[in-house]
Amino acid sequence: MAKTKPFDENRDLYEQWFIRNDAVYKSELKAIEHFIPKQDKGIEIGIGSGLFAKPLGIKDGVDPSERMTELAKRRGLNVVNAIAEELPIPDSSYNFALMVTTICFVDNPVIAIREVNRILMTDGHFILAFVDKESIVGKEYLKMKEESIFYRDAVFFSTDELLSLLSETGFKDIEIVQTIFGSLEDVNKIQNFKTGYGKGSFVVISAKKDKI
Ligand SMILES: C[S@@+](CC[C@H](N)C(=O)[O-])C[C@H]1O[C@@H](n2cnc3c(N)ncnc32)[C@H](O)[C@@H]1O
């Protein structure tokens, strides 16, 4: 069953976290924006309330949480309530698909990434953003997982694990950037992202559709 309960029940807390942690939010946005093709048609899978899609100019999204997507709709986004593993979208519909801190919530990441591959056009891009479980923040999240409203049921991944999944599910030409250097409390101003991974806690992978 889709892990929507924490988001349905604590949507406002989720939103407030990003207001309180504005420098973290803007640093993450900046790193993701680096890979967003400007003119192309994109969709966010696990769009939530649209906190990332809206400023990135992405108009379409999918998410199973009715409460989160109610807010996304209020932000003017076109949203369908569905899970990543079963996208109600025809093959080859989009130039790019974004997924932000959602891969750790999907029940079946392999099927979800295969679905992303299916809805992308030839040479389309998948932009996958997440907290690396081997990073400073990833380790902090793992340590307090049981007490966390949002992350209790999450299954975190390392960048290497996701790179293997992407290669298994038909993606190639990988590019990676990272941001959020240090603990979350230490991020008081917007950080510049760097290429690669292993230092920043928030990692963004761009991968091109190959074939399954
Ligand atoms: C941490 S939130 C991220 C929301 C948004 N991407 C953002 O960054 O603000 C995780 C989202 O994943 C959604 N979710 C949970 N299970 C899912 C699934 N199987 N397929 C797609 N989205 C899912 C939740 O409803 C929630 O909105």
The number of CA neighbours under 13 Å toward the Cβ of 114 is 9
Residue bearing the CA closest to ligand 1, atom 10? 102
Two structure tokens written together for 138: 């990833």
131 CA → ligand 1 middle, Å:
14
Per-residue tokens: 168: 């298994």
Where along the chain do its domains lie? Answer: 5-209
For residue 149, the 8-state DSSP code is: T
User: Is-contact 129 203, C-beta < 8 A?
Assistant: yes
Residue 40: the pLDDT is 83
Ligand 1 lining (C-beta closer than 6 Å):
2-4, 7, 45-48, 51-52, 63-65, 68, 83-85, 100-102, 105-107
Distance 2 CA to ligand 1 centre (A): 9
Rounded to the nearest 10°, the torsion over CA 33, 164, 154, 48 is 30
Residue 197 in contact with residue 131, Cβ under 8 Å? no
Place of tokens 């290497």: 160
Best residue among 11, 27, 105 to mutate for probing ligand 1's pocket (most ligand atoms within 8 Å of CB) is: 105
- For residue 69, which atom of ligand 1 is closest to its CA? 27
CB contact at 8 A, 81 and 2: no
Q: Ligand 1 centre and the CA of 7: distance in Å?
A: 8
Nearest protein Cα to ligand 1, atom 19:
106
pTM higher than the cut 0.85: yes
Best of 5, 10, 18, 102 to mutate for ligand 1, by most ligand atoms within 8 A of CB?
102
Between CA 6 and CA 15 the distance in angstroms is 13
User: In the chain, what is the greatest distance between 2 CA atoms, to the nearest angstrom?
Assistant: 43
Whose Cα sits closest to atom 24 in ligand 1? Answer: 4
Q: What was the pLDDT predicted at 38?
A: 86
Contacts for 39 with CB less than 8 Å, ≥ 6 apart: none
85 φψ region: left (φ > 0), alpha (ψ -120 to 50), beta (else): alpha
Measure the CA–CA gap between 106 and 177, rounded to whole angstroms: 23
The pLDDT averaged over each successive group of 10 residues in the chain (212 residues) is: 91 95 98 93 97 97 97 97 98 97 97 98 96 97 91 95 96 98 95 98 97 62
Q: Note the pLDDT tens digit of each residue in 132-179.
A: 999 999 999 999 988 999 999 899 999 999 999 999 999 999 999 999
Count helices and strands in the chain by DSSP H and E runs: 8, 8
In this predicted structure, what is the pLDDT of residue 97?
98
pLDDT, residue 211, reads 67
Q: Do the Cβ atoms of 11 and 171 come closer than 8 Å? A: no
Instruction: Kindly give the number of the ligand 1 atom that is closest to the alpha carbon of 4.
Output: 25
In 13-119, at which residue ranges do the beta strands (DSSP E only) sit? 42-45, 60-62, 78-80, 94-100
Q: Domain spanning 5-209: which superfamily?
A: Vaccinia Virus protein VP39 (3.40.50.150)
What is the predicted pLDDT for the residue at 212? 57
